[in-house]
Structure formats: structure tokens, C-alpha cells
Structure 1
Amino acid sequence: MSWRTAEQSEQSENRVKVVFIGGLGRSGTTLLERLLGQLPGVVPLGEITHLWERDLVGNEMCACGATFSHCEFWQRIGERAFGSWDNVDVERLNALKATVDRTRHIPALAARKLAPAQHELVTEYVEYFENIYLAAAKDTRAQVVVDSSKHASLAYCLRWSPRIDLRVMHVVRDSRGVAYSWTKQVRRPESPTGDQMTRYSPAKAAMLWNAQNAAFSLLARRGVPVRRVRYERIIQRPRRVIASLARFCGLDLVESDLNYIGEGWADLGPSHSAAGNPMRFTVGRIPIFPDEAWTEDLPDGTRRMVSTLTRPLLGRYGYLAEDEAPLEEPAREEVSARD
């Protein structure tokens, strides 16, 4: 491609370790990325799936507070990855995305082998991500790059890359809490026009919850290392969960590396997350507590409807046992289970 540089050609023989945080939005994925991003050797990039339109085209705000075009970090990444961001053909990338990176394409992407034409398209599409990951790892000397794009279809595309050592953290949250969260109005502070985050009806949120979580379960059966972790467990024992997930990432930590997490709080430093939940802008000490407003505010009829639509996976993840509250599930099943 026209943007390939001599340095990029040399890097093409290397592999980069990518931790992909997946799951349906409003499940705690941004919190997990922020906690992981404080570990030594880790660089969190935010939701790279949205970088092209929101940042490269829309020039929205990086988590550091600068607009994308004025963020020194992202300008270095663009130079290292593509020679210049001007060399990225966003229209071509969007066309590729529509062709390969959609939930409806997951059955084909989950196959043991791709048809030659499809393999060529997936390879071209994934190359954009590969080069960002490699550039970020090189720039920061990180051992692990974190992409919190969430979408299962992108994870299925990335699995075909020989340059990516892919590991997936599949975040699940009680579907009723997720459905309630999707009904709330949340302003996107990075948007120059004051846009609101997308909202879904409880029924649509329930169906998306089913689709995304089922897809990540299948991904694990396709040879990709997948670690399932529940939002409720992250909230209850964040230090223990992050320590376990660091081992899953292949990081060799000492106890003091986790001192930024305490009982019910965490200290967060600045980052350069390109897109995601408004929490990515938060710096300093944050409280960590369960968001259980849905247990009081979600109407009974809506709760029953969401429960019915998502019942098989709710039961599989341990949310339906009448004699067991979600927060009491043994940590081993929560942190260590591999689907």
C-alpha cells in the first residue's frame, strides 16, 4: 500500500500482543480498560473501531483533552503507522468494514477457512488495525496493547491476522442492568455538537446482549484465548480481578504494581483513549461501586421481558440462581472460566 514505509516493512515480521475487550456496551468495558491501562507495560488505545470516523474525520477529543489533530501521541502513531494520517483512505476502510466487519458476517468469519476473496478483504481491513497496534507498542515500548472496541465481529476479523497475538477479555453484565443503562441519556463530552450517546430500547438491548455474548462464546471455540469476566466481580474485587487478568495477558507483576487499586477506589492517570465512554476523560481517584439503580428503577414488566429474552445466557453466567446473588459467585468461575 502507498503508506507503507521502510520501518513498517521491517515491523511487518513482528507480532504485537493485543488484548481485545469485548462485550455489549454499558457492561463495564471502559472501567476495565482504565484499570488495565494503569499496569506497567500496557498501553490502552480506546475503541479503535471508531477512531477513523470520530477522530480522523471528525477530529474529536482524545482522552488527554486535546483534539485528535493536536494530540502529539496520535500524530506520532499516524506517522509511524502510515507515514501520515493523510495516507489513510477512510472511504476504502469504511467499505471494507461494511463488507467484513458486521455481526451478520460472524458465521463466515468463524469458519475454519475463509474463501480466498473474503480472506483478501479481511487481510486488507485488518492491516489498518495491525499498523496502529504495532506503532503504539513501538512508541510506548508496551508489552500489551489494549483495544476496547467491544464488537465481536472485529475480534473475529483480528483472529485471522498472523501479526496479532490476540487475547480477548469477554465482559458480561446482568442483561437487565445493561438494558436499563441503554435507556439513559448520556452526553458525549468529546462531541463538538453535544451529541448524546446511542440509546436502545430494552428489547433491542436484550437482543444485542444475546448476540454479542453468544459470539464471544463461539470465538473461544475457534482457538482464540478468551477470558470471561463479570462486571459485578470487577466492582466487588477489582484488585484481585486485575491481578488475574494481568497473568492472562502474560504480564509479570509485583504486588506494588497494583497499589493504584484500593478498597472501593482506584487512582487513574491520563491516557490517550481514542473513543469510548466519557469515563475515559476521568483522571484521579474514582470510587468503584456497583451501579444497581436498575434493581429499583427498571419497571417490573420490562425486567420480566428482558429476563425472558436473555434467559439462556443469564442462567449460563449465573444470574438466575434464586439462592445466589450475582456478587456472591466464586471468583474462580468469574475470573478464570474460559468459555
Structure 2
Amino acid sequence: MCALGEVVHLWQRDIRDDERCGCGAKFSACGFWRRVGALAFGGWHNVDVDRVHYLRDAVERTRHIPRLATAVEAPEEVHEYADFYTRVYAAAAEVSGARVVVDSSKHSALAHVLRWSGNLDLRVVHVVRDARGVAYSWTKTVQRPETDGSEEMTRYSPGRSALLWNAHNAAFGLLARRGVAVHRIRYEEFVSDPRASLVSIAAFAGVDLAPDSLDFLHAEHADLGVGHSAAGNPMRFTVGQLPLRRDDAWVRSLPTRQRRLVGAVCAPMLRAYGYPVFKEMQPVFKEEAR
């Protein structure tokens, strides 16, 4: 398997802005991505980024999902946009030697676009987290290390985050009803038993794990090597031990009024995913258990 990071941002942040790859090198200097670009397009200089942006605005927006989900045949622009991605995926698979490539873009509209590609075996791992935890995460100030701290990651108000949480999770549910293979897992379950979760995800992806495939995974941390994530969370630059712990800081730090607002807005889907709606949750900390 080969993790590519959030490919949806590759066109602007990497090709045009030349930000750093997960390996630490500038995108233009990364040997992996240089080989991918050469194989996919004859070099990244041949990619019309303006055209990609036009197509994104024309077909890859949340408001376009109903049309993408109900169409008998997708417009030519959908196929053209999907082709940019399928060429990257195919080239990355050849360069890495992997049978499965992982795009962690998380854009539900992009997934609906990619389902129209005849050249992909599209399988979606739908990771769900309690909406209040997501809302709190979006309020935090986090520097983007790839810009040397000069820029911050996007932030949303809890109200807007709740609306987006509803929209994107519903969109992935709709994707499953359109025949795309979707495997749902809750963040909280993943962190409580990462090994079982990864075994389940590998089976869903059609990957046969060797006896030593999960040797990087330990009781309280994962040993990470250098990767080539094109964009994404700052932890993509982490090499070595990454602690594995459930993050319930929102229970203490998200103001009660905001927590209740998000709970009310997201109540139906919180219930559907097995989360309590109005009951105050109490975090469990390993330090206290000791």
C-alpha cells in the first residue's frame, strides 16, 4: 500500500506553490513525486493547474453531490476531472510497486466524482468521529509547518463545523447507496484497538497482510517511517514514535453552549453512529487509571 496524502491539494500546494512533501523535501525536489509526474503527465509542467481548478469548481463542490449521485451519466467535465486523479493514482502505484494507493483527501464530492471513473476500483474508508470532537478540533490554532509557520490551518466555528459534519457524512452514506464499497469505522473504536481496525481495513481493501505487516504497531504508539504525503495534517512529517491515544479534550475544553449546539444540530446522525446526544460524556484518562 502507498499513502499519498490529500491529493485534492496537490494541484495548488505542490505543483504551483512547491510546498514540502511528507519526506521533508520540496515537492519539486522529491524523487518519488518527480517520477510520478513524469509517468502520469510527462512532467508536472504539463499539468494545466488552471484547468484543474476550473473543473474542481464546476463539478467538485458539496452542492454538486445531488446531481452527481442521481445522474444517469456524468457530464464530460466530471470524467475529465476524474482522469487527472486516476493518472496520479496509476503512476504512484507503478512507482511505488503498491497494489493499493490511499488518497486521504476526505472530500465527499471528490469521492462522488471518482465513482464515475471506469479505471478505478474505488473503495472508501469512512472514518467518523463525534461531531463535538470534530467541532473543537476545527477551532484550534494550528501552524502549517510546510509554510515554515507563516500560515495556519483552516478554522471553522462550531456551528459551521456541525453543518459540514452533517453534509459530508450524509454524502458518504449516499455514496454507499450508489454501489460504492464503503467501510465505516469510528475514530474512537480505531484508537481503542488499532490492530483490529487495520486488519479489518486491509481486508476491505483486498490486501493480504503478512505476519510482520503490523510490526510497526505497538500498544501505545506506532513507529512511522518517512512517507511522501503530498498534503494533509502536520503529523505527516512525523518520523519515529507516534503516540496512540484517544483525544477527548473537547469534553473539557469545548464550551457547554457550543457542545449543546453541535449536539442538537447533529443529533440524528450522532444517534445513527451510536454517539450520545445530550448526555455529558466523561473522558477516561490512562494517567488517572494508574
TM-score (norm 1): 0.81
Deviation of 1:321 after TM superposition, in Å, equals: 7.1
2:70 and 2:75 map into 1 onto residues whose CA distance is 11
1:251 and 1:107 map into 2 onto residues whose CA distance is 32
After superposition, the C-alpha distances for 1:214-254 in whole angstroms (9 at most, x for unaligned) are: 00001000000000011101110001100110000001113
Q: Does 1:207 align with 2:166?
A: no
Which of 170, 174, 192 in structure 1 is aligned with 2:130?
174
Q: Contact 1:168–1:227 (CA<8 Å) still a contact in 2? A: yes
- What SS does the corresponding residue of 2:169 show, helix, strand or coil? helix
The alignment-based identity, stated in percent, is 54
Change over 3 Å in CA distance of 1:176–1:282 after alignment to 2? same
Q: Contact 2:158–2:258 (CA<8 Å) still a contact in 1? A: yes
Which of 56, 59, 64 in structure 2 is aligned with 1:100?
59
Instruction: Give matches, 1:47-58, under 5 Å.
Output: 47-58=6-17
Number of equivalenced pairs: 284
Deviation of 1:119 after TM superposition, in Å, equals: 2.2
- What SS does the corresponding residue of 1:308 show, helix, strand or coil? helix
Instruction: Give matches, 1:314-329, under 5 Å.
Output: 314-320=270-276
- What SS does the corresponding residue of 1:62 show, helix, strand or coil? coil
Which of 240, 243, 250 in structure 2 is aligned with 1:284?
240
Residue aligning to 2:27? 68
Q: Contact 1:60–1:68 (CA<8 Å) still a contact in 2? A: yes
- What SS does the corresponding residue of 2:150 show, helix, strand or coil? coil
Q: Contact 1:170–1:229 (CA<8 Å) still a contact in 2? A: yes
Q: Contact 1:236–1:327 (CA<8 Å) still a contact in 2? A: no
Deviation of 1:112 after TM superposition, in Å, equals: 4.6
Q: Contact 2:248–2:283 (CA<8 Å) still a contact in 1? A: no
Q: Which runs of 5+ in 2 are unaligned?
A: 285-290
Which of 169, 172, 176 in structure 2 is aligned with 1:216?
172
Change over 3 Å in CA distance of 1:99–1:219 after alignment to 2? same
Change over 3 Å in CA distance of 1:141–1:200 after alignment to 2? same
Which of 127, 138, 157 in structure 1 is aligned with 2:94?
138
1:148 and 1:194 map into 2 onto residues whose CA distance is 24
Which of 171, 195, 199 in structure 2 is aligned with 1:239?
195
The one-letter code matched in structure 2 to 1:67 is: K
Q: Contact 2:108–2:171 (CA<8 Å) still a contact in 1? A: yes
Q: Which runs of 4+ in 1 moved over 4 A?
A: 321-328
Q: Which runs of 5+ in 1 are unaligned?
A: 1-41, 329-339
2:193 and 2:11 map into 1 onto residues whose CA distance is 35
- What SS does the corresponding residue of 2:84 show, helix, strand or coil? helix
- What SS does the corresponding residue of 2:232 show, helix, strand or coil? coil
After superposition, the C-alpha distances for 1:283-306 in whole angstroms (9 at most, x for unaligned) are: 111110011111111111111111
The one-letter code matched in structure 1 to 2:45 is: D
Deviation of 1:192 after TM superposition, in Å, equals: 4.6
Residue aligning to 1:32? none
TM-score (norm 2): 0.95
2:62 and 2:71 map into 1 onto residues whose CA distance is 18
1:223 and 1:121 map into 2 onto residues whose CA distance is 22
Change over 3 Å in CA distance of 1:325–1:253 after alignment to 2? farther
2:179 and 2:280 map into 1 onto residues whose CA distance is 32
Which of 42, 46, 57 in structure 2 is aligned with 1:87?
46
Q: Contact 1:318–1:326 (CA<8 Å) still a contact in 2? A: no
